[in-house]
Amino acid sequence: MKPLWFKAATATNPGLLVRLGAIGAVMLSVTGAFAYTGGWLSPERLTQDRMMAAFRDANGTHVGFRRNHAKGVCVTGWFESSGQAAAISKAAVFKTGHVPVVGRFALAGGTPFQPDAPNTVRSIALRFLPPGGEEWRTGMNNIPVFPVNSARGFYEQLLAFSPDPATGKPDPAKIKAFLAAHPETARALALIKKRQITSGFADSSFNGLNAFRFVDAAGASLPVRWSVVPVQPVAADAAEQPEAGDENYLFDDLIAQIAQHPRQWRLIVTIGQAGDSTDDATQPWPEGRQQIGAGTVTIDQASSEDSGRCTAINYDPLVLPAGIEPSDDPLLSARSAAYARSFTLRAEEKHEKPPSAVTPEQVQVGGKS
Amino acid sequence: MTAQPRFPAASRLLHWLMAPMIIAMLFIGVGMAASVSRHYDLLVSIHRPLGIAILGLCVARIVNRFINPPPDLPDTVPSLQRFAAKASHIALYALILVMPLVGWGMLSAARYPIVLYGPVQLPPILPHDLTLYAWLRDLHSVLAYLLFATFLAHFGAALYHGLIRRDGVFGSMASWKSMQFARTNRALIQNSTQTPEP
Ligand code: HEM
Ligand code: HEM
Ligand code: HEM
């Protein structure tokens, strides 16, 4: 019910109607701008939700698991910094000394129960916890370059390699079209295919792939990429198939090896030069770049994801201490956003999550299932 | 025909300092939560310190409200609207106090470092707990939408007072200059002999 004065006023004063209309228009524009910013009016925009939907299309729904690198185990250990990287980065983690580490070994792909296979991309995620609380988190893969160089490329790759509902297999025509549209991926996949595949996690090298910047105490910054390289001897992948039924052989071996004695990797920082691309993870840097041995990572304990300390953690590549900064690589921001949403989804689903492929019992018996 | 007194200067200052910050936070928030672009990282790095600044200012604002009580609404405002005004102001205060706390709390429960700028970080305020994180992350969204809706109603009501009622309520917060604009009708303003305050 409008008050009387109001009716009288609108009847006698058309200006009032204009002003009411103006208020309505302002309200609508503010709401519209809000909806636009939130992506609700742009079905084409690649959002966190749409990235998650692509993972669902590619892998199905696996409640409570990471949307990518879904099959894994937690590990702990420490990092013994050599102090050598302290000259180019002011991060506390690089001062000579001992830093606790919580990590995770995993296989790429969003299927938590995939059988271990030699060709599947392996990963290590590390969380360095130096005194003072300035953490460093990083994820690395056992491939020399990343297959895509943009969030859109990643999304299209997921969709292109999704199983066709009719056949249950990826559609070769779709893959062909994707590779034709992404020559950088075709080039990167060729390099990835040529990589040396080792016998397991413990003798794999892992590469950070994205470029970052190290910043020293004076504020000078250098482009870098980093890797961890095994200290233990490297053995080529045994060409024969793993025993039938041993679906977790890579993880079982790792758990058994760590139980035997700690495994170690050297953290190598490669310094880029002018002209080395920092914004394209499909491009390798030339051989012969200056490298620094920043220290050694030692892993002395493994545990199942279901009891370990890596599960309630998001290995967000942008959790960086002062002294390490993101480069201009668009993948970094994309990863941070996608990992955040994946992390939130699995947190929401935690109470419904079935046991992981590698259970606490299995780790207890030394990885022999 | 009484003049509608203005809010005390400190209250106006705080209101107009915080209004753009809060509106920016709402837009930055929904923008970053719907982005995997280069902007995501930048927006998140603005969102955290700006949200914590709002928390600090909100506490200052509540203290200020006790020191500098707000003027009463004019008698011409009907009682239902009075109630709505009061309730929405309480809701706004509560939301801008709780939103940053939920943001800080959820990052604590997820054990993200809560970086404000460079090496400057906040300590965690809650235990590391995934389920708690999930709950707070959802709450952060729900409260944000509620804040947006309340802000919209507030903005609409302010414009209604300023453009339709012209009862001085708009000027009591929005006028920097003088009591002149805060009269109950325009005729009075035109005939006023008062000199503006500096
Ligand atoms: C736009 C590109 C990428 C997207 C959308 C993406 C997506 C994801 C997602 C959703 C997860 C699960 C996160 C979680 O729930 O905690 C994940 C895990 C992971 N990603 Fe990526 N990723 C991308 C690029 C990369 C790159 C370039 C690397 C290489 C260094 C990488 C290495 C890893 C590793 C090692 C993990 C496992 C982390 C863990 O064990 O917790 N990803 N990725
Ligand atoms: C007045 C204060 C605040 C407002 C109005 C606000 C608003 C928002 C909004 C609208 C969203 C998007 C919600 C969605 O669409 O799901 C959001 C997300 C978020 N906010 Fe806040 N926020 C505030 C304070 C904070 C603070 C103090 C922090 C942390 C210290 C914080 C951290 C976050 C994070 C991490 C996200 C999620 C980003 C993502 O989805 O990747 N917020 N906030
Ligand atoms: C452009 C937008 C805005 C306009 C035009 C505006 C206008 C006004 C006006 C005219 C008043 C005085 C109302 C009265 O005396 O009852 C007021 C009070 C108030 N406004 Fe706003 N406002 C805006 C944005 C905001 C935002 C974003 C907030 C967020 C918290 C806010 C919070 C408040 C509160 C809490 C009061 C009551 C002050 C008190 O009683 O202590 N305003 N506003």
Ligand 3 mean position, distance from CA B170 (Å): 9
Is the pLDDT reported for residue A287 higher than 80? Answer: yes
Cα–Cα distance for residue pair A196/A204, rounded to 1 Å: 9
Q: What is the mean pLDDT of residues B81-86?
A: 94
pTM above 0.95, yes or no: no
Question: B147-163 pLDDT, tens per residue?
Answer: 999 999 999 999 999 99
With a CB cutoff of 8 Å and minimum separation 6, the contacts of B190 are none
Ligand 1 pocket check: which of A207, A309, A335 to mutate, most ligand atoms within 8 Å of Cβ? Answer: A335
Cα–Cα distance for residue pair A257/A17, rounded to 1 Å: 79
SS (H, E, C) chain B: CCCCCCCCHHHHHHHHHHHHHHHHHHHHHHHHCCCCCCHHHHHHHHHHHHHHHHHHHHHHHHHHHHHCCCCCCCCCCCHHHHHHHHHHHHHHHHHHHHHHHHHHHHHHHCCCCEEEECCEEECCCCCCCHHHHHHHHHHHHHHHHHHHHHHHHHHHHHHHHHHHHCCCHHHHHHCCCCHHHHCCCHHHHHHCCCCCCC
Q: Phi and psi of B147, rounded to 5°?
A: -65, -40
Is the pLDDT reported for residue B135 higher than 60? Answer: yes
Helical residues (DSSP H) of chain A, grouped into ranges: 4-12, 14-37, 48-59, 151-160, 172-181, 183-193, 249-260, 330-348, 360-364
What pLDDT is stored for residue B146 in this prediction? Answer: 98
Give contacts of B160 with chain A, Cβ < 8 Å. Answer: 23
Could you tell me if A34 lies within 8 Å of chain B, comparing CB atoms? yes
| Ligand 3 pocket member B54 (CB < 6 A) | no
* Cβ–Cβ gap A322/B129 under 8 Å: no
Ligand 1 mean position, distance from CA A314 (Å): 10
Cα–Cα distance for residue pair A181/A174, rounded to 1 Å: 11
Half-sphere exposure of B144 toward its Cβ, with a 13 Å CA cutoff?
Answer: 25
Ligand 2 mean position, distance from CA B54 (Å): 12
Which helix or strand (DSSP H or E) is residue A163 part of?
A: none
- Any idea which of A122-126, A143-147, B150-154, B183-187 has the lowest mean pLDDT? B183-187
Residues B1-19: b if buried by 16+ CB within 10 A, e if exposed: eebbebbbeebbebeeebe
Q: What is the dihedral of CA A35, A40, A41, A44, to 10 degrees?
A: 140
Q: What is the mean pLDDT of residues B170-186?
A: 63
Q: What is the dihedral of CA B136, B138, B144, B149, to 10 degrees?
A: -130
- Any idea which of A56-60, A130-134, A270-274 has the lowest mean pLDDT? A130-134
Question: Among residues 275-314 of chain A, which lie with CB inside 8 Å of chain B?
Answer: 311-314
Cα–Cα distance for residue pair A132/B113, rounded to 1 Å: 11
Ligand 3 mean position, distance from CA B187 (Å): 26
Domain B9-193 in CATH 1.20.1300? The answer is no
Q: What is the DSSP letter of A131?
A: T
Assess contact for A221 and A212: CB atoms under 8 A: no
Among A280, A25, A9, A219, CA closest to B156: A25
Residue with tokens 């054990």: B111
Give contacts of A45 with chain B, Cβ < 8 Å. Answer: 34-35
Which helix or strand (DSSP H or E) is residue A3 part of?
A: none
Is the pLDDT reported for residue A2 higher than 90? Answer: no
Could you list the active site residues of A?
Answer: 69
Q: Which atom of ligand 1 is nearest to the CA of A155?
A: 5
* Long-range own/partner contacts, residues B65-73 (CB < 8 A, 24 or more apart): B65/B11, B67/B10, B68/B7, B68/B8, B68/B10, B68/B11, B70/B7, B70/B8, B70/B11, B71/B4, B71/B5, B71/B6, B71/B7, B71/B172, B73/B169
Is the pLDDT reported for residue A6 higher than 70? Answer: no
Share of chain B above pLDDT 70, in %: 87
Which helix or strand (DSSP H or E) is residue A126 part of?
A: strand A122-128
| Ligand 3 pocket member B89 (CB < 6 A) | yes
What pLDDT is stored for residue B19 in this prediction? Answer: 98
Tokens, residue A229? 């390289």
Could you tell me if A151 lies within 8 Å of chain B, comparing CB atoms? yes
Residue nearest to atom 6 of ligand 1 (CA): A335
Cα–Cα distance for residue pair A204/A228, rounded to 1 Å: 9
Cα–Cα distance for residue pair B169/B187, rounded to 1 Å: 17
* Closest ligand (CA of B153): 3
What pLDDT is stored for residue B4 in this prediction? Answer: 76
Q: What is the DSSP string of A254-307?
A: HHHHHHHS-EEEEEEEEEP-TTS-SS-TTSPPPTT--EEEEEEEEEEEEEETTT
- Any idea which of A239-243, A260-264, B105-109 has the lowest mean pLDDT? A239-243
What pLDDT is stored for residue A194 in this prediction? Answer: 95
Going from N- to C-terminal start, the domains of chain B cover: 9-193
Is the pLDDT reported for residue B185 higher than 70? Answer: no
Query: What is the dihedral sign for C-alpha B20, B116, A36, A342?
Result: negative
Rg (CA), chain A: 25
Question: B20-72 pLDDT, tens per residue?
Answer: 999 999 999 999 999 999 999 999 999 999 999 999 999 999 999 999 999 99
Q: What is the DSSP letter of A236?
A: B
Among B144, B147, B145, B104, CA closest to B126: B104
Residues A253-273: b if buried by 16+ CB within 10 A, e if exposed: bbbbbbbeeebbbbbbbbbbe
Q: What is the mean pLDDT of residues A143-148?
A: 98
Angle at A49 between CA A46 and CA A50, to 5 degrees: 45
What pLDDT is stored for residue B179 in this prediction? Answer: 47
Question: A222-248 pLDDT, tens per residue?
Answer: 999 999 999 999 988 876 666 666 899
Assess contact for A122 and A142: CB atoms under 8 A: yes
Cα–Cα distance for residue pair B97/A2, rounded to 1 Å: 35
Q: Which residue of B has its CA nearest to A13?
A: B164
For residue A315, how many other CB atoms are within 10 A of its CB?
Answer: 24
Among A366, A362, A355, CA closest to A306: A355
Residue nearest to atom 31 of ligand 3 (CA): B19
With a CB cutoff of 8 Å and minimum separation 6, the contacts of B174 are B158, B162
What pLDDT is stored for residue A244 in this prediction? Answer: 64
| Whole-Å CA distances, B189 to A64, B6, B160, B184 | 65, 15, 19, 8
Q: Which atom of ligand 1 is nearest to the CA of A281?
A: 27
Q: What is the DSSP letter of A228?
A: E
Assess contact for A344 and A52: CB atoms under 8 A: no
Is the pLDDT reported for residue A7 higher than 80? Answer: no
* Terminal C-alpha separation, chain A: 75
Pick B159's closest partner by Cβ from A26, A314, A346: A26
Is the pLDDT reported for residue B190 higher than 50? Answer: no
Mean of pLDDT over chain A: 94
Residues B42-77: b if buried by 16+ CB within 10 A, e if exposed: ebbeebbebbbbbbebbeebeebbeeeeebebbeeb
* Reported ipTM: 0.92
Question: Among residues 38-57 of chain A, which lie with CB inside 8 Å of chain B?
Answer: 38-40, 45-49, 51
Q: What is the mean pLDDT of residues B94-120?
A: 97
Question: A314-367 pLDDT, tens per residue?
Answer: 999 999 999 999 999 999 999 999 999 999 999 999 999 999 999 999 898 876
**Any bridge partners for residue A107, and if so which?**
A71, A122
Is the pLDDT reported for residue A152 higher than 70? Answer: yes
